[in-house]
Amino acid sequence: MIRTSPVLRILSSDKNRLIQSSFLLLFVELSLIRWTGANLFFLSFFSNFVLLASFLGMGLGFLRKPSSTPLLRFSPLLLTLLIIFCYHYRYQYQPQPLLHQTTDDLNYMGKLFKENLFPVWLTVPIVFLMTTIVMTTLADGVARTFRLFSSLQAYRLEIIGSLLGMIIFTLLSFLHAAPIYWGIIINLLFSSLFFKDWHWKNLLSLMQIISLILLIVILHAESIATKQFWSPYYKIQVQPYSDNRFVVNVNGVPQQIIESVEQRKKTKPFYFYPYQHAIFHIPLNNVLIVGAGTGGDVAIALSQGAKHVDAVEIDPLLYQLGKKLNPDHAYLDPRVQVTINDGRTFLEHNHRLYDMIIFALPDSLMVLSGQSSLRLENYLFTLEAFTAVKNHLNSNGIFTMYNYYRERWIVDRLAATSNTVFNHMPCVDTEAENNHWLSVLSISPSAHALQCKTSWQIESNLYATPATDNHPFLYLKENRLTPFYFFTLFFIFFTALIAIKLVGGSLHFIQSHFDLFLMGAAFLLLETKNITHFALLFGSTWLVNALVFIGIMLAVYLAVEITHRIPILRARMLYIALLISLFIAWIIPTNDLLALFMPARFIIATLIAFTPIFIANLIFANRFRQTIHSTEAFAANILGAVLGGMLEYSSIIIGYRDLIIVIALLYLLAIMTMKTKAL
């Protein structure tokens, strides 16, 4: 019988520990992005700040000296405190009119705070600092095992753990799993890492056990809340209102009301305006409703004589709630066909002509992912999207959109976009309600197909420039960063400088690994660019985002395996190939890809997106295996990702397409600063 030597058993144990701790690190990061956004409403719009805090914390954890006090053992307590903070100060809807909140040019709706809540300017720094500290303690645990292996082998094991964390979190999202399941997995991972060291008489062991129990208790309490559900996008709560009506809150904010057609006719007549503007009798053979939600707009279309309705809703749980609770049971009607997808993607894939297309309050109240500034509906309101709408309308068909647009200039922008595409101004029904511009805009390919009491008159062209696929920021007045963003980015920058000093580091380590630092910044931007690009090509759904992340990690892992097997890779040649692939990605218009059939679009888009990712990771892996101090080098790379996350906001100024130019410049600087032996 062959026995495994003690050395091999220890090595195997260390491998498992590195994989588990890396799994835990990424899983906690993803959980915190969901948890903070679900409970602190305004963080739904700034969730990449949690991402930046995570990267900063990871960089600090890898930067700490091996002789310093191990921090992983404090992670359960600190993570539980952060979870409790968000839970205690979570936004909870109180039945009163929504208040209007504006921060410079950035608009978001909702009554943001109860009386005991901290203001935004204080809450954002607290969450940022707490997240940074939690991630520092977790990354410190990863780094201590990371040092036991060669640079490339350690990186390979770290990627395996991260990939597993991403896959498991994606699976939980698919199953609409409540936070208690996140807590169970986090508890299992912590228990696996600490179990051998637990002693009932040890104060630290008791602290860890009590913290993990409290974590489960809090997450369980949130998971079993009455009529509360967790979709891949939101925390959704259904509150009985009156007369068989229900308020649907997402992330604590009232988003829609489930009520009958008759109730809606009495309380919100604007839903019926589009049907009253047609001069010619429209048979309504085909109606498309984007943002169908819980089915109220679908029920209205059926009541107006629609023979067929395509109902598109991005959130499967909202559809299920509408199917169950809507008093008109619109989703059970055989005339209705439901599609769970992004509205823009539906338009690109569907070739049916419609008598009416309705954008029914598609206000997602959240960003696309933790890594970008896009909201889920941003690609619906671009010049290209309105062109797609026009191409799907019959000659006398009607396109209408309605929402509480919060500011008149947003209505100006949408009216100007409609005018550019349809060559005439839309009909408008509007009124100020609780400081919101409740507006219904209706337009047709034929200017003579509509009867309007009022056509929209643009008050000022200053902010009426249409949003585009390259610059899809409907809710920003100008292509510039607001003072709020500048304040936050400066806060992150100075926090990073102070934190590096506190963990005993200096900026010298970044200077020694400046090429790796720049690669981290460039790669984060490359990830962001591909996430937003795939959202446009294949839909801004959670599943598309998750699959892109998993694809990126698989490309990284493949690059590491190839680098491990090929001893010599010429960095200069790889950089040339990388710059060529980036140029190809920059020069090919997105419209050309959108014009392709789905199989061809997928193949070509994947090649264009993942070729630079794969080559960039060949470059990084080849350079990283030559490092002497692997954790310092890895810290420099991760902290570079913080810079990349900050540079992502440059897309507000230059657009997403030209992010590739920034990426190319960063990689050029990286090769210019790379040590000669690595070339």
Helix (H, G, I), strand (E, B) or coil at 456: coil
d(CA 582, CA 32): 32
d(CA 564, CA 568): 10
d(CA 646, CA 450): 46
Q: In CATH, what class is 14-226+478-678?
A: mainly alpha
Q: What is the pLDDT of residues 72-81, one digit of tens each?
A: 999 999 999 9
Cα 588 to Cα 385, 585, 616, 657, distances in angstroms: 19, 6, 20, 10
Closest CA to 438 of 384, 382, 363, 355: 363
Give the pLDDT mean for 272-284: 81
Domain with CATH 1.20.1250 in the chain: 14-226+478-678
Domain with CATH 3.40.50.150 in the chain: 260-363+383-463
* 367, pLDDT greater than 70: no
d(CA 271, CA 300): 8
d(CA 297, CA 292): 6
| Cβ contact 508:500 at 8 Å | no
Strand 253-258 and strand 228-230: the pairing is unpaired
Residue pointed to by tokens 């338009």: 347
Q: Is the backbone of residue 230 left (phi > 0), alpha (psi -120 to 50) or beta?
A: beta
- Class of residue 342 by CB neighbours under 10 A (exposed 0-12, middle 13-18, buried 19+): buried
Query: Which residues are CB-contacts of 241 (< 8 A; sequence separation ≥ 6)?
Result: 247, 257, 259
Give the pLDDT mean for 288-295: 94
* 325, pLDDT greater than 80: yes
d(CA 544, CA 616): 22
d(CA 186, CA 83): 13
d(CA 340, CA 539): 11
Which CATH topology does 260-363+383-463 take? Rossmann fold (3.40.50)
d(CA 275, CA 281): 10
Query: Which residues are CB-contacts of 2 (< 8 A; sequence separation ≥ 6)?
Result: none
Q: What is the pLDDT of residues 426-470, one digit of tens each?
A: 988 876 555 456 889 999 998 888 888 788 887 777 788 899 999
d(CA 216, CA 222): 10
d(CA 101, CA 217): 34
Give the pLDDT mean for 232-241: 88
Strand 436-443 and strand 106-109: the pairing is unpaired
Can you give the pLDDT at residue 102? 39
Closest CA to 111 of 294, 251, 232, 315: 251
Going 155 to 492 to 646 to 534, the CA torsion angle's sign is positive
Reported as type and span, the H/E element at residue 255 is: strand 253-258
* 199, pLDDT greater than 50: yes
Amino acid at 516: L
Amino acid at 97: P
| Cβ contact 124:141 at 8 Å | no
The C-alpha torsion from 659 through 664 and 668 to 673, rounded to 10°, is 50
Query: To 10 degrees, what angle do helices 120-146 and 630-647 make?
Result: 150
* 598, pLDDT greater than 50: yes
User: What percentage of the chain carries pLDDT values higher than 90?
Assistant: 55
* 124, pLDDT greater than 50: yes
Helix (H, G, I), strand (E, B) or coil at 248: strand
* 678, pLDDT greater than 70: no
Strands (E), 116-252: 228-230, 235-240, 246-250
Q: Look over the chain and give the mean of its residue pLDDT values, rounded to a whole number.
A: 86
d(CA 396, CA 328): 29
Reported as type and span, the H/E element at residue 47 is: helix 47-63
Output b/e per residue, 260-284; b: 16+ Cβ within 10 A: bbebbeeeeeebebbbebbeeebeb
* 211, pLDDT greater than 90: yes
Closest CA to 368 of 585, 202, 536: 536
End-to-end CA distance of the chain, in Å? 48
Give the pLDDT mean for 362-390: 78
User: What percentage of the chain carries pLDDT values higher than 70?
Assistant: 89
* 324, pLDDT greater than 80: yes
Q: What is the pLDDT of residues 125-167, one digit of tens each?
A: 899 999 999 999 999 999 999 999 999 999 999 999 999 999 9
- Both tokens of residue 22? 């890396």
Closest CA to 213 of 232, 245, 234, 190: 190
* 96, pLDDT greater than 50: no
Reported as type and span, the H/E element at residue 101 is: strand 100-103
Q: What is the pLDDT of residues 615-629, one digit of tens each?
A: 999 999 999 988 888
d(CA 193, CA 182): 17
Going 250 to 251 to 252 to 254, the CA torsion angle's sign is negative
d(CA 674, CA 670): 6
| Cβ contact 111:42 at 8 Å | no
242 vs 68, higher pLDDT? 68
Q: What is the pLDDT of residues 658-673, one digit of tens each?
A: 999 999 999 999 988 8
Q: What is the pLDDT of residues 98-115, one digit of tens each?
A: 333 333 343 333 333 344
Amino acid at 13: S
Can you give the pLDDT at residue 368? 56
| Cβ contact 639:496 at 8 Å | yes
Give the pLDDT mean for 63-70: 89
Query: Which residues are CB-contacts of 544 (< 8 A; sequence separation ≥ 6)?
Result: 342, 534, 535, 538
Closest CA to 666 of 507, 570, 524, 470: 524
Closest CA to 193 of 250, 253, 138, 117: 138
Can you give the pLDDT at residue 92? 63
CA atoms within 13 A on the CB side of 325: 24
Residue pointed to by tokens 């990605």: 585
DSSP state of 288: E
- Class of residue 569 by CB neighbours under 10 A (exposed 0-12, middle 13-18, buried 19+): middle
The C-alpha torsion from 500 through 501 and 504 to 506, rounded to 10°, is 80
Can you give the pLDDT at residue 460? 74
d(CA 544, CA 598): 14
Closest CA to 164 of 528, 557, 540, 607: 557
* 490, pLDDT greater than 50: yes
What is the widest separation between alpha-carbon atoms in the chain?
92
* 481, pLDDT greater than 80: no
